[in-house]
Amino acid sequence: MNKYQILPFKFTRFNTDTVFITNEVGEFLFISNEDFEKFVSYKLHDNNKTYLDLKSKHILTDSSLTSVINMLSVKYRTKKSFLQNFTSLHMVVSTLRCNSKCIYCQVSHKDLCDKGYDMDKNTASKVVDMIFKSPSPDIKIEFQGGEPLLNFDIIKFIIERSIKINKKINKNLEFVICTNLILITDSILNYLKKYNNVYISTSLDGPDNLHSNNRPLQSGENSYSIFIQNLTKTRQILGKHKVDALMTTTGLNITYFAEVIDEYIRLGFNNIFLRSLNPYGFAQKQREIVGYPIEFFIEEYKKALLYIIELNKKGIYFIESFACLLLTKILTPFPTYFVDLQSPAGIGISGVIYDYNGNVYPSDESRMLAAMGDNKFLLGNVMKNSYNEIFNGDYLKSLIKSSCLESLPGCSCCAYNMFCGADPIRHYSEHGDIIQNPIKSNVCKKNKGIISFLLDLIRKDNEEINNIFWSWITRRPLTEIKRCS
């Protein structure tokens, strides 16, 4: 009889002499090949240090199986606790019209003077009613476009109506306006200032030339200089902490990450999300300028991350947000609430998007597919369908069922699946199938590449780097982590 039982685990050969081994809740160890072979052949001795480590992490048990399974189930529930509250992120497209012509924008945007692409009050009112049917105690309403400020009246209408409804039910309500800031005015800012729960998410792709090349305006004006002016004004009126920025990596700025990061720091941001582009939907010629192979992105990302770590060592508190999300998943017992990195996927059940015409889609990507003529992911319309039909319908359920990494071929046995997430709609848009195929998927390549890079840094157990990572995860200054006496 074996002296111990092996509990469910996954592993990967991390390098020539180390195995990365993890349990069902994402706790992990790096063990030697020798110990691994002994472990799986039931020959690991209980006085071996690895034996106790595996036991402590609930990868093996030699005593009470029920108690250990109970502990694992508590940890599993904690890791999956993002599922408890249902949809909290509600994206609203106030208009499809835009004043920019960003080189990476996919076909969905309309020109400034186009007619019929603004959300009307009737639709907006139904959208708000639908949003407040969500059982989640946290409601974040994110205005997207086009450029949402082109239809600011509807933003005001939605904010006011939401606040009125929320007076009775008291949810944690937040608004985010995703804007290029070009059209922001004192009067808009003074209006937004009245509410302490309105945030601005803007876009910044680097210093002047990189930003302006990625994000030209339809008018031909220099988008960077107007952006800088308006950023200053917005921060003055709303407060610095109310404004965050997102960046998009294109073929034009991918080799200049250090410059982009320096620009973020120069402008006083304390984080950057080095986002890779989803290159689907471009004509081949455009793809050559805008796109890049994912392998190249991973290499540039790694360099950028090391650069950011060096800046933190010098005392500049600056977070790379994608790394921070992954580190939270790898190092803590908690989930993140980032909809793109969940299993099951966050589509519909964590985040949802309401198009200008009231159409409801489970993600921004599915709305773009619809704009390109593929309405496959349309969940319904706020004017025609009930909350139940949209959110509790068989269609959304079937999509969710196809997005559990734990049961997807290739993903189910991946040692990194507790750190990763499913995105069936993106996979469909790239490969025509909602069932993820890790061999084809660029998302898989990227996530695997970055996760193993982070794991390698974690494995090296450098105290300075660990402190920096934890200062990101726990949003505390490095001095507090070091807690010098």
Partner 1 sequence: MKEIIGKVQNIGKEIIGKITKKDSLIRFNKKLILVTESPKKRYTRYQAIITIPTMINKIDGVVFYTEDIESLNEEDIVLITPDGRISVLYQSNSYHNVLLLTNLCNCNCIMCPQQKVKNENDMTPLNIELISLMSKKTKQLGITGGEPTLLGDNFFRIISECKTRLPETSIEVLSNGIKFKDFEFTKELALLEHPDLLIAISLYADTDNAHNNIIQTKGFYDTIEGFYNLALFQQKIEIRVVINALNYKRLPKLAEFIYHNFPFVYHIAMMGMEPTGLAEKNINKVWIDPYEYKNELRKAIIYLNQRDMNVSIYNHQLCLLPEELWPYARKSISTWKNLYLNECTGCQIKDNCGGFFESSRKYHSKYIHLLNK
Q: Which residues bind partner 1 (CB under 8 A)?
A: 27, 52-53, 55-56, 63-64, 67, 70-71, 74-75, 78, 332-334, 463, 466-467, 470, 474, 476, 481-485
Compare residues 395 and 470 and give the one whose CB is closer to partner 1: 470
The nearest distance, CB 414 to partner 1, in angstroms, is 21
Task: Calculate helix-pair angle for 463-473, 442-460, nearest 10 degrees.
Answer: 130
Compare residues 27 and 35 and give the one whose CB is closer to partner 1: 27
Compare residues 141 and 327 and give the one whose CB is closer to partner 1: 327
Contact 252, 289 (CB under 8 A): yes
Cα separation, 6 vs 368, in Å, equals: 46
Compare residues 75 and 376 and give the one whose CB is closer to partner 1: 75
The nearest distance, CB 55 to partner 1, in angstroms, is 5
The nearest distance, CB 198 to partner 1, in angstroms, is 28
The nearest distance, CB 325 to partner 1, in angstroms, is 17
Radius of gyration of the chain (CA): 24
Compare residues 121 and 482 and give the one whose CB is closer to partner 1: 482
The nearest distance, CB 12 to partner 1, in angstroms, is 21
The nearest distance, CB 53 to partner 1, in angstroms, is 7
Compare residues 166 and 332 and give the one whose CB is closer to partner 1: 332
The nearest distance, CB 49 to partner 1, in angstroms, is 9
Q: Which of 234, 160, 154 is nearest to 199 (CA)?
A: 234
The nearest distance, CB 419 to partner 1, in angstroms, is 15
Compare residues 41 and 63 and give the one whose CB is closer to partner 1: 63
Phi and psi, residue 360, nearest 5° = -110, 125
Burial of 312 (0-12, 13-18, 19+ CB in 10 A): buried
Compare residues 53 and 259 and give the one whose CB is closer to partner 1: 53
Compare residues 60 and 188 and give the one whose CB is closer to partner 1: 60
The nearest distance, CB 123 to partner 1, in angstroms, is 42
